[in-house]
A and B are shown apart, each in its own frame.
Chain A
Amino acid sequence: MMNVGAAKDGDAVISIRGVSMSYGARRVLDHVDLDVRRGEILVLLGGSGSGKTTLLKHVLGLGKPEAGSITIYGVDITRCPRSELVAVRRRIGVAFQAGALFNSLSVEENVALPLRELTRLADSTIKLVVWMKLMAVGLSEAGSLYPPELSGGMRKRAAVARAMALDPEILILDEPSAGLDPIVSAELDELILFLKRSFGVTILVVTHELESAFHIADRVAMLYQGQLIAVDRKEQFMRNEHPRIRQFLDRQPDAAPGVAAEEFIASYLRGSRI
């Protein structure tokens, strides 16, 4: 679905400027600046508790940041009226971490839901669109199944199909490969690349799975303790010398628990001797 006034290739479709957020005394996001450019796959890396989920929620307009702005297609979603936010959301498809499929609806009905509710398409057209979307994610056989009957990989695919239902220009995927075995995870990576190639969507992926991240990414951004410590093309990113990035890429633990315990015991013994 092309639209008038769309950004040219390489322009930022989502631009995050100085976004800060804290829960109580804990700073979750600290002046985050990030651009997602049209047509690229940007992978947002970060460990648990790095603030990536919070950032994602803010991009979707599900929370208001304390400071900063998030502009999507020229609309600052942190300040715009609700109607504009809804209009911007129509151009974004989201596949949530656990799929967020509605358990009372079959896979087909799940994909059809946004079409039924938000468009005036005839039932036969909706059926066709749903079939096409399920075909694209390789689930055309599983349309009549219900979400609890699906395997983890199928559920993620179904979620992607639903996210693609309204032909979004931006696709946001939250942890697409979390909890999947390597083969299914690789299939999902191929699906993401396929969607980019054939539909030209801009894709923002939030993950902590390194292999899949570097396979699909054009650019990689890394969040650490609420701060964006690097945004780079993936080749440069892999050569980044930031200690945290090295630690993350080389899979080094923070501090071995055994060492800390030994130190504690040693200091205790020293203290008790005095």
Chain B
Amino acid sequence: MTFLEQVGQAAIVRVEDAGALTMQFWSVLCKLPRVLPFVGARRRWRSAVAQMLAIGASALPMSGIMSLCTGFILALQSASELRRYGALDFVVDLVAIGFTRELGPLITALSVSGRSASAISAEIGTMVVTEEIDALQVMGLDPVEFTLAPKYLAALITLPCLTILSTLCGIFAGFLFLAFSMDMSLRIYLLAVAEAILLRDVAFMLIKSLVFATIIVHVGCLEGLRVRGGPEAVGHSTTAAVVKSTFLVILADLVATAIFYLMGWSSLR
């Protein structure tokens, strides 16, 4: 193969990847209403709730504690610098804004991508290997509606909730630090936080978390569906799912933050 052929081959593979991602996303979007409560099928909603417990509720302790620790670290690190300028009360702004805009969504997404992207791709990969996906198709049931759509809905609902909770944890960690070092009362701290955060920061946070949720569940499902061969292929796919989803989450975070910065929405007030 000449160099040109190799480049062409690699390009085709990448384009195929992108195409597969888009096709899967579109077909899931079409099926999403079937999973909703009241308008959709009852059983799908039930399996979506089960997925919400798996993806969301059981990730809460982990992402909560991670945020608590990160919040404390952020407060500690910034305090040592800010103290030199006598601006210790800016720690509040730093922690509050940092967490709502950036760290809350990011830490939640990273913990969920570690837990759930692997779990999703392992589950779907196993279904491919044991021919359960084939069985669904042969029975006339749509695998997209049956297995993928509930996971998408669950991730899209639970990730913003998790993000809000872990942001609160991070901000609370900031309070813990200031309460010990400055004897700041909770009331004053919360007032300062409310002063620092704008509504658009919260909106920014929720939009980010929706994007991250899509990336995590999407990569997990696609890697799972790609499994070919025996059970050892499932192991490869789970690794690939975690690596790719983590990478894409950070990349998307950069792009989203850059867009918000360029639009002037995150400039100093």
What residues make up the interface of A, taking CB atoms closer than 8 Å to B?
Answer: 57, 60-62, 86, 89-90, 92, 94, 96-102, 113-114, 116-118
Contact = CB atoms under 8 A, between A and B. Distances in A.
Contact of A96 (B43, B134, B140): B134
Contacts of A57: 134
A98 B141 contact: no
Contacts of B138: 60-62, 89, 92, 94
B132 A102 contact: yes
Interface string B135-146: 101111100000
The 3 A-B pairs at the shortest CB distance, nearest first, are namely: A100-B135, A96-B131, A100-B131
A118 B139 contact: yes
Contact of A97 (B131, B137, B139): B131
B141 A117 contact: yes
B24 interface: no
Nearest to A159: B135
Contact of A89 (B130, B131, B139): B139
Given A61-B138, A94-B135, A96-B130, 7 more contacts: A96-B131, A98-B130, A98-B131, A100-B131, A113-B139, A114-B141, A118-B141
Interface string B149-171: 00000000000000000000000
Contact of A116 (B43, B131, B134): B43
Contacts of A90: 140
Contact of B134 (A62, A92, A114): A62
Contacts of B135: 94, 96, 100
Contacts of A98: 130-131
A98 B126 CA distance: 12
Contacts of B134: 57, 60, 62, 96, 100
A86 B141 CA distance: 9
A220 to B, nearest CB: 24
15 contacts: A60-B134, A62-B137, A86-B140, A92-B138, A94-B138, A96-B131, A96-B134, A96-B135, A98-B130, A99-B130, A101-B132, A102-B132, A113-B141, A117-B43, A118-B139
Contacts of B140: 86, 89-90, 114, 117-118
A94 B140 CA distance: 12
Centre residue among A60, A86, A100, A113 by max chain B CB count within 10 A: A100
A215 B131 CA distance: 27
Contacts of A94: 135, 138
Contacts of B43: 116-117
Contacts of A100: 130-132, 134-135
A22 to B, nearest CB: 17
Contacts of A97: 131
Contacts of A99: 130
A118 B138 CA distance: 12
A92 B131 CA distance: 16
Nearest to B130: A98
A102 to B, nearest CB: 6
